[in-house]
Amino acid sequence: MKKLLIGGLLTMASVSVFAADVCEGYGPQTGRDIDSREGTNKVVFSMAPPASQMNLCNIHFHKNAEHKAKDFSVPATEGKGFMCGMSQNLTAAELKAPSGKVCGDLKPGDTIEMHWVHTSCDVAPGPGLGSCLSPQCANPNLRVETQVFTLVNDSNAMDFNDMDYDGNMVNGYHQAKSIPMTTGAPVEFLGSTTGPSFDDAMKCSPLQVSWSVRPHCAKVDINTIANWCESNEFDEKEGHGVRQLVTDPRMLSAIH
């Protein structure tokens, strides 16, 4: 049995792995450099419907970006992943430490990658991947809407409360109150679940996920992230780990 993650959310499944320099027989993996459209993985599945036609089932984040793009390509100084370029040019006021701990160990200037996970199942949002499934719907379409943020101590920056769930329903679907729409056209591609327990040689993810990753960073007020970690319906208290970037074209889908 191996642990599987959708952006850090745990479930269990049996996985057969063949000895090779890359995992054999697996579909395209995630995270990736979204500025590169190259990919030769032969496993194909249908792109999930738009998030507006699915139920939000979970919100969580990773410390550092799991994906890479021009805007978030600075190697992380702590752990794996990448940081936003804008994090290198913040003011003293933006970098002022807030009072108390933030989501375990976050501080102004850090980068986080936020994941809004959606499912085709008729379920309500909640903690973990289990909230995206049900006994009546064990093999759903999954979509992850993604935004990379730089944390700043600035009340004029984005307020994460505006992007939370809080029971919001739209046309009969559970939906986030908003997801950033001013950070570039999302790059869509077929991929997998993520998290630090996977690599592209011996421990690939078998789950199939449609990804939608915005290419530009945005600033979010660290105090609003702190408030969210203190109380949210997803039982999220801190950032999840980051998977090493997948670069082998054999483990990536082509971006069209």
For residues 212-244, b (16+ Cβ closer than 10 Å) or e, as one string? Answer: bbbbbbbbbbbbbbbbbbeebbbebeebbbbbe
pLDDT tens, residue order, the chain (256 aa): 344 445 555 444 433 334 458 888 999 999 999 999 999 999 999 999 999 999 999 999 999 999 999 999 999 998 899 999 999 999 999 999 998 999 999 999 999 999 999 999 999 999 998 899 999 998 999 999 999 999 999 999 999 999 999 999 999 999 999 999 999 999 999 999 998 888 878 899 999 999 999 999 999 999 999 999 999 999 999 999 999 999 999 999 999 9
Q: Is residue 95 part of a domain?
A: yes
Distance CA 225, CA 168 (A): 19
Note down the domain range covering 162.
2-251
- Whether residue 191 has a cis bond before it, omega within 30° of 0: no
Question: pTM score > 0.85 for this model?
Answer: yes
Q: Is residue 143 part of a domain?
A: yes
Q: Is residue 217 part of a domain?
A: yes
Q: Is residue 55 part of a domain?
A: yes
Q: Is residue 159 part of a domain?
A: yes
Q: Is residue 256 part of a domain?
A: no
Number of structural domains in the chain: 1
Rg, Å, the chain Cα set: 17
